[in-house]
Chain A
Amino acid sequence: MSLSEISEQPAGYNFAYLDEQTKRMIRRAILKAIAIPGYQVPFASREMPMPYGWGTGGIQVTASIIGPDDVLKVIDQGADDTTNAVSIRNFFARTAGVAMTSRAEEATIIQTRHRIPETPLHTGQILVYQVPIPEPLRFLEPRETETRKMHALSEYGLMHVKLYEDIARHGHIATTYAYPVMVEDRYVMDPSPTPKFDNPKMHMSPALQLFGAGREKRIYAVPPHTKVVSLDFEDHPFSVQEWPDTQCAMCGAEGVYFDEVLLDDRGGRMFVCSDTDYCERRQAEGHFGHLHASGGAGAAAPENR
């Protein structure tokens, strides 16, 4: 951008907050990450106008790839209307002025804290994850020099030590989120704090998946149509969470990821879809659960009463 052009711009922030040099630096890191699926690329993470832990890594990635024509969706714990999602959406509304949506298939960029939408993603979409701790080996090997060497040499026996400990202590693999995956038979990757329920959705996804860790200054990626395999033992195979005989209390959906909501202090509870967009869409289509205001299909009392 030339000096004359800059001087014509209104005073304030650059488009999407970050300056263009920073965006270039982050884009280079992203390109490298895409070229080496699952490899953690260091980048010069910037101070953002919000604390670490609020998704500064994901926000920097989004800010670097977003253009004026993009349509952004932000998810926090599967919901579009929780604090983190609202604050990030407001941030990009003010600094980039792009269109916002809650509909998964309309978005070109989806920034997420935990969930992958229940609605299948399609080619051309980009899923941006906010990652707290990018290093899957960290809890067993505190030395960064050593974990880098282990990645370089594909020494991943340690990852199974963690799963072994799970089975020895709990009788099954008790890791339910940040469940380690092998990307394209080469790098073991931490899929951020997404529940393992979503791990199979990463495998061969048509969407590009980018991961940004702001505090740890790392970016990694899973390009479209890439093999993502959850680690396991032959006699303790990987499995996802299941809620047998459970339907969403609002939309009646089955086989999705549920949030448990306590209703009173006498054990009353209900299960609702964690993906609010998916749930609202189903309700709009006329699917109702037993606690829906319309009376729903069952209109029965909550469970355990």
Chain B
Amino acid sequence: MTMRDLPLLEIEGLTHFYGAQLGCRNVSFDIYSGEVLAIVGESGSGKSTLLNCLSAQLRPTGGTIHYRMRDGSRLDVYGAGEAEQRRLLRTDWGFVHQHPHRGLRMGVSAGANVGERLMVVGERHYGNIRAKALEWLGKVEIDGARIDDVPNTFSGGMQQRLQIARNLVTEPRLIFMDEPTGGLDVSVQARLLDLIRTLVADLGLSVIIVTHDLAVARLLSDRIMVMKGGEVIETGLTDQVLDDPHMPYTQLLVSSILQVGA
């Protein structure tokens, strides 16, 4: 059995309460390398809580998460120290926020934003950092001439693409995305989705993407998880779930998509 056959991330009985308030309950699933999983559901269904728990940013009340490291060892994410968790999040993982100002340093140049992770892992050659930043700006279709401009001067779509470049520069294996296309207009959304799909395929990334937009889920994901009231109510291959939803809530969700010209 090769490493590709072993799950990259194993989630077992994940539960989180905010005091007495339920965040998410008893979520279990595996994600394999190169797989894209969409978590869909309405606002307040526990999607973001789940994503924060998965990405080691919110210690869950119960349950375990194990991550397969590059050397094949299996890391208990919440059993590991904070140093290890933060290192993972800055090297082997990535997190694309819905709002770019949460994921970018708005006061420093685009080049420094992309280069930061390289400097975090010990790159100390300015020329190399700059070359790598230029390369990645190109990959996310940002004009290299903008490398010294601050993200505040970028459009929303560009900021989002910059955030993706910043995350991918250390060649992570697992990316978390929280509504990456939220707040963008439709044509910009389409372009961003196309870019994400290309990068994911080229780099063989595993992605866990949270969205309330079923079109995004259909376009990007292999598998889908539908959440309601903090629990996973339906899971399966994306096309299967969206074409033939079993649960009443999923049926409602699918049928509520506006069919233009249908």
Chain A residues with CB under 8 Å of B82's CB are 149, 153
- Tell me the residues in window 223-244 of chain A with beta carbons closer than 8 Å to chain B beta carbons: 232-236
Closest to A233 in B: B126
Q: How many A-B residue pairs have CB under 8 A?
A: 55
Structural contact, B148 and A164, CB atoms closer than 8 A:
no
Chain A residues with CB under 8 Å of B129's CB are 164
Chain A residues with CB under 8 Å of B108's CB are 140, 161, 165
Structural contact, A160 and B119, CB atoms closer than 8 A:
yes
The answer, among A153, A167, A233, for a CB contact under 8 Å with B124, is: A233
Residue A158 lies at the interface, judged by CB distance under 8 Å to chain B: yes
Question: Quick one: CB contact mask for A139-170 with B, threshold 8 Å, 1 for yes?
Answer: 01000000001000101011011001101110
Structural contact, B120 and A155, CB atoms closer than 8 A:
yes
Closest to A232 in B: B124
Residue B178 lies at the interface, judged by CB distance under 8 Å to chain A: no
Chain B residues with CB under 8 Å of A232's CB are 124
Question: In the complex the two chains form, what is the Cα distance from A232 to B112 in whole Å?
Answer: 15
With A140-B108, A164-B112, A168-B111 as given contacts, are A236 and B126 in contact (CB-CB < 8 Å)?
yes
Residue B117 lies at the interface, judged by CB distance under 8 Å to chain A: yes
Structural contact, A235 and B125, CB atoms closer than 8 A:
yes
Structural contact, B112 and A161, CB atoms closer than 8 A:
yes
Select the residue from A153, A161, A233, A236 with max chain B CB neighbours within 10 A.
A161
Question: Quick one: CB contact mask for A155-199 with B, threshold 8 Å, 1 for yes?
Answer: 101101100110111000000000000000000000000000000
The answer, among B83, B116, B126, B147, for a CB contact under 8 Å with A158, is: B116
Question: In the complex the two chains form, what is the Cα distance from A155 to B147 in whole Å?
Answer: 25
A121 CB to nearest chain B CB (Å): 31
- Tell me the residues in window 42-99 of chain B with beta carbons closer than 8 Å to chain A beta carbons: 82-83, 86
Closest to A158 in B: B116
Query: How many positions in chain B have a CB within 8 Å of any CB in the partner chain?
Result: 23
Chain A residues with CB under 8 Å of B105's CB are 140, 161
Chain B residues with CB under 8 Å of A157's CB are 116-117, 119-121
Chain A residues with CB under 8 Å of B130's CB are 168
With A153-B82, A168-B148 as given contacts, are A161 and B116 in contact (CB-CB < 8 Å)?
yes
| Interface SS majority for chain B | helix
Residue B180 lies at the interface, judged by CB distance under 8 Å to chain A: no
Residue B189 lies at the interface, judged by CB distance under 8 Å to chain A: no
Chain A residues with CB under 8 Å of B125's CB are 233-235
B28 CB to nearest chain A CB (Å): 31
Residue B109 lies at the interface, judged by CB distance under 8 Å to chain A: yes
Question: In the complex the two chains form, what is the Cα distance from A168 to B109 in whole Å?
Answer: 8
Residue B19 lies at the interface, judged by CB distance under 8 Å to chain A: no
Question: In the complex the two chains form, what is the Cα distance from A153 to B130 in whole Å?
Answer: 26
A186 CB to nearest chain B CB (Å): 14
Question: In the complex the two chains form, what is the Cα distance from A153 to B82 in whole Å?
Answer: 9
Question: Quick one: CB contact mask for A255-267 with B, threshold 8 Å, 1 for yes?
Answer: 0000000000000
Structural contact, B119 and A161, CB atoms closer than 8 A:
yes
Structural contact, B112 and A169, CB atoms closer than 8 A:
no
Q: Residues on B close to A: CB < 8 A?
A: 82-83, 86, 105, 107-109, 111-112, 115-117, 119-121, 124-127, 129-130, 147-148
Pull 15 A–B residue pairs with CB atoms less than 8 Å apart, ordered by A: A140-B107, A149-B82, A153-B86, A158-B116, A158-B119, A160-B124, A161-B112, A164-B112, A164-B115, A164-B119, A164-B129, A165-B108, A168-B109, A169-B109, A234-B125
